[in-house]
Amino acid sequence: MTGRTATLVLAAHGTRSAAGESTLSALAETVRMARPGHRVELSYLEISSPLLSDVLPAVRGPVVVVPLLLAGGYHAHIDLPEVIASRRPDAVIAGWLGPHRLLTSALARKLARAGLRATDAVLLGAAGSSDPSALADVRAAAHRLAVRLARPVTAAFASAGSPSLEEAMERLGSTPAARVAIASYVLAPGHFHDRLASAGAGLVSDPLGPDPDVAALIWHRYDTALARRHPLAPRSPGLHQASL
């Protein structure tokens, strides 16, 4: 299998947000533009269409699936590999996206565009998970952003995970910081970005969306998956960290 012949299939979670679907479509187009001539298909694990389970059997030739997931968890470890095993057992599954320096660059750039100040306290706002390894991925991303910004960055979670978004906002509200800035650690608009936007922060950056650095990271995951040739096997946190 070579990079010239393998179709890249993007596997997003799925959303009920029309703006979210539009943003993910724009991301897929940015990925295509980064490597003209490569076939790129966007699919979803649930809710949205087309579903990954329908796209995989329709693609001829070798396939590399890149999960559009910022952290590990149920979808990365269980759901996605099960779909691939049942629909395209010959497909190669790549690592999920985060944490990675390219995401850090995109986050820092979006915060700057939103008007980040030197005195702002910063939260990395993520969806959350019941999987400790997924929470660890997000906290590692917060650490990377803290190094880039040269200030503390707290990971906070809109659903499962500690601290919750509300807890983190309350803690930072008692600090001398002039205001709280939330770096939106989601790929597209939807339920979780809405939660971040309504948390009462002084600013909330845009979702990562069709950022060129996100597209570059997707191709990096694709290339790494081809080089390692690990069909079906979801990456363990140790293997995943080693690829950063």
Listing DSSP states for the chain in one string gives --TTTPEEEEEE---S-HHHHHHHHHHHHHHHHHSTT--EEEEESSSSSSBHHHHHHH--S-EEEEE--SS-SHIIIIIHHHHHHHH-TT-EE-----S-HHHHHHHHHHHHHHT--TT-EEEEEE---S-HHHHHHHHHHHHHHHHHHTS-EEEEESSSSSSBHHHHHHHHHTSS-S-EEEEE-SSSSSHHHHHHHTS--SEEPPP--S-HHHHHHHHHHHHHHHHHT-BSPPPPHHHHHHT-
Return the ∠ at Cα 24 (arms to 20 and 28), rounded to 5°: 170
pLDDT digits (tens, 9 = 90+) for 172-211: 877 776 799 999 999 999 999 999 999 999 999 999 999 9
3, pLDDT greater than 70: no
| pLDDT (0 to 100) of residue 197 | 97
pLDDT digits (tens, 9 = 90+) for 126-181: 999 989 999 999 999 999 999 999 999 999 999 888 999 999 999 987 777 679 99
> What does pTM read for this prediction?
0.90
